[in-house]
Amino acid sequence: MKKFTRTICLLLVIAFAKAELSYAQQEITGIAHYKSKMIMEKSDDSLQKKMQKLDPEMQKMIASALENAGKAEFTLKFSRTESLYEKVQELAKPKPQSGMSISIEISGGGDTYGTTYKNLVDQTFIREDQIQGKEFLIVDQIKPLDWKLTGESKKIGNYTAMKATYTFPKEEKDEQEVETSLLEMAGSDERVITAWFTMDIPISNGPGNYQGLPGLILELRDGNTVILCDRIEMNPADFELEKPKKGKKIGLEDFNDLQAKKQKEMQERFQNKRSGDGVIFMKG
């Protein structure tokens, strides 16, 4: 199996090198359109037990909110050397006139959320993000990911896509944090990223901070979040990229530390709040 995987890797490297050479004399630009959604596992016993402790009305409201959680549209403007990934803005939905409401807010590492500029030459990124309404501008190096090719392939639209996975190192979780988070994602402690990329577009890029494969990522699953490309415009007219500028500059590690601290404070406040408007924070 290992020999088979190594053979696949070698063939991909050779094919990617040939594709790069064939495109060396021409510029490649494009706009990939993505849609995201969240997939909640119905077999999640931990989640079901927490839901059962709530009254029926609250259960219905949370179920309805989860159904629409994570739904968003994004665009990735890309060239051979840089890219800009951003969420398509939509009109704010009207709030209910009375009664209780539940909103689901996607937060966390921001790997696929937040306007992100990448420079593939010097392997740096700039990302706009927020912590409780305060804007930050994260400036740091792109972390190389040790992707593992599986040898699987499928069709996504008109493109042939191949599967690759990356497993993040296990993270230790604070027991109190897990207990007080109503909708803490249950399951394996390992965070596995699954990507489907196509060498039909030999651009080593993808949604958010993800890149490093020998082709554009068309589909990505990060935990319960799935992002799928449904349309690509190649060499569009009036193509230009603008770097994100809003927010206080900060490194990624410092941002993650601050975010974890504020997240814990929010969970502690939410623990004592059982009535009125509810806001549930989930890691996406």
Least Cα distance to 66 among 37, 33, 98 occurs for 37
Tell me the C-alpha distance between 50 and 58, whole Å.
12
Total-model pTM: 0.73
CB contact at 8 A, 243 and 126: yes
Q: CA 1 → CA 7, 8, 149, 193, 240, distances in Å?
A: 10, 11, 11, 21, 44
CB proximity list for 169: less than 8 A, separation 6 or greater:
none
Q: Is 180 exposed, middle or buried (0-12, 13-18, 19+ CB in 10 A)?
A: middle
> Hey, where are the domains in the chain?
2-16+29-88+100-283
CB proximity list for 56: less than 8 A, separation 6 or greater:
none
CB contact at 8 A, 218 and 127: no
Radius of gyration of the chain (CA): 20
Condensed to tens digits (0 to 9), the pLDDT of residues 181-230 reads 333 433 446 789 999 999 999 999 999 989 999 999 999 998 888 999 99
DSSP 22: H
Mean pLDDT (the chain) is 78
CB atoms within 10 A of CB 72: 17
| Greater pLDDT, 68 or 6 | 68
Strand partners, 148: 165
Tell me the C-alpha distance between 268 and 281, whole Å.
12
Condensed to tens digits (0 to 9), the pLDDT of residues 12-42 reads 544 554 544 444 446 899 999 999 988 766 5
CB contact at 8 A, 33 and 87: no
